[in-house]
Structure 1
Amino acid sequence: MTSLFDDSLRKIQFLFKYSGMHLELKSSKTIADIIRYRWLYIINFLWLNTDVIGEIFWIIDGAANGKKLSELTYIAPCTTLCMLANLKSIFLILSEDALTQLTKNLREMERSEDGSENMVKDTIIEEQRSFLNVVISALNFWNAMTVIAFSLTPLVLMAVEFRKTNEVELMLPFLIVYPFDSYDIKYWPFVYLHQVWSSCIVVLEIGGADCLFYTCCTVIRTQFRLLQHDFEGIISTNESEFQEKFLKLVVRHQELMRSVNLLEKMYTKSTLFNFVSSSFLICLTGFNVTAIDDVAFVLSFLTFLLMSLLQIFLLCFFGDMIMTSSLEVSIAIYNSRWYLAKATTAKQLFLVQIRAQKPCKLTASSYADVNLRAFMRILSTAWSYFALLKTIEKD
């Protein structure tokens, strides 16, 4: 059976390839090594952030010139998402050692299960493989639709305007300040393509970091479920056989906890910004959907809103999966017919059960746990901000 981890990595390889982040990280000792290995990421970083700087200047200039709140909030969600893409990619690159160790741990745990030939275990692995494939495929499709919606909206509006007035009015996907006239026909095609690729970079970097997170969470959850299955059937009449199995399961449990800690190290800082920014993203895009009259732009922001909701929901959902599956190890030990074992054997199982009752969890820099409760708090905060913006708009 093919490895769940490696099979899933192959499906998201293109996200890392075109963003320049890479999956199989290599040690970079000198600046020359970094440039040679990260040249595409550096180009994409500079490419994207020229637009981010222009967006910030547009917001500052708009506020200084008294533009409406709906106009100012038009570009703010895009700027926030660009900053999120920057942070996710940078923190992932800085966590090179943790990613290398986590990859090694997960592959070793999967190899240890290769020769088991257990129908129940095979079913567990295939269930998780199918689930992860559906999530990654759906996410890639929706991200692509979001990019297409924002990229094509100006062209559609230009065509509609030309049909009405028989004149061409040049438009761009995003409102950005440049040191030249971006609506001059000499520059407009380049600026248009520049903005489209910037939106692709954002989707590639966020999609790559998130899909790797989902993959690692799914593999860890799978290993927790396999561990539960083994603990449920550990009781044996042969004491020496029990001790051998028990020791291996305890080591596997410890490795899984280490793997969760490595995943926490990789994502904890970017997750904190993700939590904070998601409330603003959902609030601002929801406000734009209700404040903008143009149907084409409403549809663009509606896809953007759904993408933002899906992104933070999946982050919390997979974090919740880790917590739940680690807690279920305690239930599996309880179901292991421990009452048929000797007192010393039951005490050993009891110690593991006590440890399993403390869930393995991912956090946003220890300020909040990554679970479905956090998702509900983000929605609640976003609704509060949305209500405030609507009140300000009316005033």
Structure 2
Amino acid sequence: MSAKEPPVRQEVIFELDFISSLGRKICLYPFIGKSKPMIMGYFVFYILAATTALQLFLTLVLASASDLLEIINIAPNLGVCIMTVIKYTKLETHKDVYNEIFFHFRDGMWDIVSPNSKIQKSIITKYRKIAMIINRFLLYYSIPLTVVVDSFPYIFMKYEEKFHDLREYLYPFEGWYPFNKIEYYGIVYVWESCMTAVVVIVYLFANMIHASYIVFTCMELRILGCCLEDLISPSDVENIKKGFNVNAIQFGIEKKFKIIIARYEYLAKKCAALDSVLGGAMLLNYSLGAIFICLTAFTCTVVDNSYKRVRYFFMCMSLLVEIFNQCLIGQILSDHSENLTNSIYSSNWIYASPETKKIILMLILRTQKPFEFTGNGYVTMNMNTFSRICSNSYQFFNLLRTMF
């Protein structure tokens, strides 16, 4: 890192390198040109996550169709494992996309940043802090989450054994095994604890990198907005009014505007690429989210076992948070891309040349279709979608309660 780089750029690069260093620990970074140990590590993680998903699938298949509570206990865990495998696979198979975006924010976007603009510096500082807060929260949230999920069954089992004289074997996710898992309780518990940690770490890291990319995309959109507002400076306006060096000024305005358009189109293409990568997982979340939230919330209210009541409650909350996260980042991305229209209106566009005005009009038309995250094009991920999912879940919940 060059000592001459501005501090705000160093802060962004530091945050990107922080994500990169975490990714290496689960064999995802660097994106391209990984060493053989890293490639082997990737396949080890992949096989472990896929094996856990297969194990839970067999557990669901072999579960009694009449035991609704057992099916409800297995299905959300299976869904999380499948989502983990999908996210981990997508990060690797689309590493060229992630790599290009990573180095764009690290090196490529800074030619449009004015070193003397206090507004742009404040924008970069603000969004870098937002990215840092999100990343640190996900990192430090994953540690207690893993500890609680892994230790809570054992602690509750010992509590019931000591104070209520009950001996019920509990596990982190209670998968199926081709042998008597009570006889090998210690081995089974260690296996499920390790697999739970793998799933949590991969899942949260995927959320971390996607959230960071969206935050930095919004940051660059805000910077582009500032560039649009400052496209024609007050001094340029005065010179144009006086007829002084008009052709050179208009040429410079048109050149700067084309750079802004090129950068906007680049962001549009990268967001579309991310949408195609995440579309399947988002569609799966949308399709099954309302059902799983409803089932876990319903089971939490009717089950008699205290351990399962707590388990279903936190499972329901986790599902809500995950769906809320996807809808929120989609809403924020759309809002920031739509705000470019206001930035265009705020500029002194009336003093631009007729050719530049035509290009401005084309950009206004382009910004009427904001950047979006969708479920494979079938549903837009925004806060309206989250509200619809919650509404459907509540309706299903009331129906189940009435039937029960």
Distance in 2 (CA, whole Å) between partners of 1:281 and 1:239 is 58
Distance in 2 (CA, whole Å) between partners of 1:388 and 1:82 is 28
**1:206 corresponds to 2:208:** no
Following superposition, the deviation at residue 322 of structure 1 comes to: 1.6
Q: Is the 8 A contact 1:80 1:281 kept in 2?
A: no
Distance in 1 (CA, whole Å) between partners of 2:356 and 2:25 is 53
**1:58 corresponds to 2:59:** yes
Q: Is the 8 A contact 2:169 2:182 kept in 1?
A: yes
Structure 1 counterpart of 2:380: 369
Distance in 1 (CA, whole Å) between partners of 2:166 and 2:275 is 55
Please report the TM-score for the alignment, with normalisation by the length of structure 2: 0.86
Question: In the TM superposition, what are the counterparts of 1:329-348 in structure 2 within 5 Å?
Answer: 329-348=340-359
Counterpart of 1:234, as a letter, is: L
- 1:218-255: CA deviation from partner (whole Å, max 9, x where unpaired): 11111110000110111134323212322221222222
Structure 2 counterpart of 1:291: 302
Structure 2 counterpart of 1:216: 213
Distance in 1 (CA, whole Å) between partners of 2:398 and 2:197 is 31
Q: Is the 8 A contact 1:221 1:322 kept in 2?
A: yes
SS in 1 for 2:161: helix
Q: Is the 8 A contact 1:9 1:212 kept in 2?
A: no
Match of 1:256 among 267, 275, 292: 267
SS in 1 for 2:63: helix
Q: 1:58 to 1:352 in 2, by over 3 A?
A: closer
Q: Which stretch has the larger CA shift, 96-105 or 124-133? A: 96-105
Structure 1 counterpart of 2:179: 180
Q: Is the 8 A contact 2:113 2:223 kept in 1?
A: no
Q: Is the 8 A contact 2:21 2:29 kept in 1?
A: no
Structure 2 counterpart of 1:97: 96
Counterpart of 1:123, as a letter, is: S
Distance in 2 (CA, whole Å) between partners of 1:241 and 1:273 is 48
Q: Is the 8 A contact 2:324 2:386 kept in 1?
A: yes
Following superposition, the deviation at residue 343 of structure 1 comes to: 4.2
Counterpart of 2:398, as a letter, is: A
Distance in 2 (CA, whole Å) between partners of 1:81 and 1:188 is 24
Following superposition, the deviation at residue 167 of structure 1 comes to: 7.5
**1:122 corresponds to 2:133:** no
Counterpart of 1:323, as a letter, is: S
Structure 1 counterpart of 2:47: 46
Distance in 2 (CA, whole Å) between partners of 1:248 and 1:361 is 23
Q: Which stretch has the larger CA shift, 221-230 or 289-298? A: 289-298
Question: In the TM superposition, what are the counterparts of 1:342-357 in structure 2 within 5 Å?
Answer: 342-357=353-368
Q: Is the 8 A contact 2:297 2:316 kept in 1?
A: yes
Question: In the TM superposition, what are the counterparts of 1:264-303 in structure 2 within 5 Å?
Answer: 264-303=275-314
Match of 1:230 among 220, 227, 230: 227
Following superposition, the deviation at residue 121 of structure 1 comes to: 0.4
- 1:160-218: CA deviation from partner (whole Å, max 9, x where unpaired): 1232366765432222221111111xx22221111111111221222122111111111
Distance in 2 (CA, whole Å) between partners of 1:247 and 1:165 is 74
Q: Is the 8 A contact 2:20 2:30 kept in 1?
A: no
Q: Is the 8 A contact 1:283 1:385 kept in 2?
A: yes
Q: Which stretch has the larger CA shift, 256-265 or 208-217? A: 256-265
Structure 2 counterpart of 1:26: 32
Q: Which has the higher contact order (CA 8 A, sep 6+)?
A: 1
Q: 1:205 to 1:295 in 2, by over 3 A?
A: same
Counterpart of 1:293, as a letter, is: D
SS in 2 for 1:203: helix
Q: Is the 8 A contact 2:16 2:102 kept in 1?
A: no
Q: Is the 8 A contact 1:316 1:371 kept in 2?
A: yes
Distance in 1 (CA, whole Å) between partners of 2:63 and 2:398 is 23
Following superposition, the deviation at residue 341 of structure 1 comes to: 3.8
SS in 2 for 1:361: coil
Match of 1:195 among 192, 200, 203: 192
Distance in 2 (CA, whole Å) between partners of 1:387 and 1:15 is 43
Q: Is the 8 A contact 2:250 2:352 kept in 1?
A: no
Following superposition, the deviation at residue 125 of structure 1 comes to: 0.9
Structure 1 counterpart of 2:15: 8
Q: 1:23 to 1:321 in 2, by over 3 A?
A: farther
**1:243 corresponds to 2:254:** yes
Distance in 2 (CA, whole Å) between partners of 1:70 and 1:310 is 23
Structure 2 counterpart of 1:311: 322
Q: 1:92 to 1:246 in 2, by over 3 A?
A: same
Q: Which stretch has the larger CA shift, 77-86 or 139-148? A: 139-148
- Percent identical: 21
